[in-house]
Amino acid sequence: MDQDRDDQTRGELDAVVQRAKRGNSAAFEELRERFAGRLQFGTAGLRAELGWGPLRMNRVVVSQAAAGLARFLIDTGRQRSVVIGYDGRVNSDVFARDSAEVMRGLGLDVTLLPSALPTPVLAFAVRHLGVGAGVMVTASHNPPRDNGYKVYLGGDDDGSQIVPPVDGQIADAIEAVAASPLSDLPRATDFAVAGPDLAEAYVAATAAIVPAPRLPVDAQPSVVYTAMHGVGWQTARAVFAAAGFAEPAVVTEQIEPDGAFPTVSFPNPEEPGAMDLAIARGVAVGADLVIANDPDADRLALAIPDGSGSYRRLSGNEVGWLLGWRAASDAVAAGRSGVLAASIVSSPALSRVAERHGLGYRDTLTGFKWVSRVPDLLFGYEEALGYLVDPEVVRDKDGISAALVLLDLATSLAASGSSIAGQLDAFAAEFGAFASGQVATRVDDLARIGTIMQALRATPPTTLGPLTVLRSTDYAAGVDGFPPSDILRYDLSGDARVIIRPSGTEPKVKVYIDTVAETPAAAQALVEALADAVRPRVS
């Protein structure tokens, strides 16, 4: 309480302490739960619900994290400079300013972004400014009451997110800082605030990744855009205009940043119902494309007309196939070599694209911190709506640049009499009819996740649905150059595959199913049969 600068969280904690002093058992349990440990800093940084105590996101935890990161940069001889960005969530701006004051007080050169901006702008700024590290205060697409703290590194890391062992080193530095009162840390307010030229540089660099549109503005495919109550719109709008594309119709109710996320219970475009307003707007204006960024605009979702008066949302894999095919075709046309990459739980279709084009291919662990580090990368994606379309601009997933490339693709297809739907059909004809699906089990008790994974290890399946398990692979001990990971993979007859792992950001066990068949309908039917077979094993 003494360290907390936030009147609300300090007051809430004091009220619980007072109830506990009066012998209230529920208050004791609440204190025990909130103070049972510390919020763990990992490769995803910090992410948790807002609230008091060391197991929640609050000004004490964030200030300690900022000091720990600063100590890490100093102690490891890295550049003593950092750029800090933030999104539109509750307290993001407060956490960003606290971080700036703490890091500046410890002697770092600090640049704070001037307003709530997309995560890709912060990732761009790390490289553009040549700083030692970047911090983005965001919980991305998590529930409304969450917030988080994402860290990027400059120098040899080239603006990518942190990976082991750096996460552990930063965590150790945070633990050391937390052993002393925050009042021992100097704070300073003479940090720099970036001017508009930084965001303008991102807009210019991003707009330049596509050629001039093949159709005039009035003949381009019509588009509906939603920011999902996040910070994507102003930057996306500027990028689209700079590249020569028509301004989309917008979902007015979701276009401005709002940390309460009033129209969605879960601001993730993957979640059922999250794109309902956008699709309704698409129906109303007869849009050819409906696109959505998540709240910090590092992810992208796409829906296209389904032929029956509504829209079909494409999976992350389908969008990844199309963008990867385009990237491969462009590379070959330009005489470039390079590598396509996708996370291990993404569809194997991209590897077939790479093979047919004579390009390299790499699987990575889940998370863009791994995808972005692939050498000679041309394009990378993960099925959770993340796409890296130009590694020279941003070394992270970027929902705005991905949206721009999709607009360019849709416009080029329209100019030749085709569409995104037609391109999906062409992909199946060229590379095979791939399909993918997921099964997810949400748990209330995190220990349940370990129980599920252990049961699968103890009794591996020999068949799943109509298919035989040809090979079971446990990544717990490290496989094929991957570090030890809690992942189980089953390669099945018929070139099908099932992968099971705990979610990295939510209390879930996730199952990823991939198939390929003669027709899209046959591939999808096989996905559904495998989902039915695996669901009881993870419930």
Number of neighbouring beta carbons within 10 Å of residue 20: 17
Tokens 């719109």 belong to 233
Residue 166's H or E segment, with its range, is helix 166-178
Task: Note whether 302 and 289 are within 8 A (CB).
Answer: yes
Report the distance separating Cα 279 and Cα 444, nearest Å.
Answer: 32
Reading the block at residue 438, the tokens are 């997921």
Encode 436-491 in three state secondary structure: EEEEEEECCCCHHHHHHHHHHHHCCCCEECCEEEEEEEEHHHCCCCCCCCCCEEEE
Closest residue by Cα to residue 299 from 444, 396, 422: 396
Cα–Cα nearest to 173, from 133, 129, 121, 113:
133
Interior/surface letters 465-479, b for 16+ CB within 10 angstroms, e for the rest = bebebeeeebbeeee
Distance CA 367, CA 343 (A): 7
Query: Would you mind telling me the total number of residues written for the chain in this entry?
Result: 539
Burial of 181 (0-12, 13-18, 19+ CB in 10 A): exposed
SS3 string, 80-146, reads: CEEEEEECCCCCHHHHHHHHHHHHHHCCCEEEECCCCCCHHHHHHHHHHHCCCEEEEECCCCCCCCE
Please choose, from the candidates 434, 313, 332, the residue with its C-alpha nearest in 3D space to the C-alpha of residue 379.
332
**Are 406 and 327 spatial neighbours (Cβ–Cβ below 8 Å)?**
no
The CA distances from residue 61 to 93, 171, 511, in Å, are 15, 12, 33
Q: Which of 81, 92, 140, 351 is catalytic?
A: 140
Cβ neighbours of residue 375 closer than 8 Å, sequence gap 6 or more = 339
160 is catalytic: no
Contact 304, 318 (CB under 8 A): no
Tell the residue number behind the tokens 């791939």, with chain if given: 434
Q: How far is CA 458 from CA 150, 442, 454, in A?
A: 36, 21, 6
Query: C-alpha distances in angstroms, 65 versus 78, 151, 245, 257, 406?
Result: 17, 10, 41, 25, 37
Residues known to be catalytic? 140
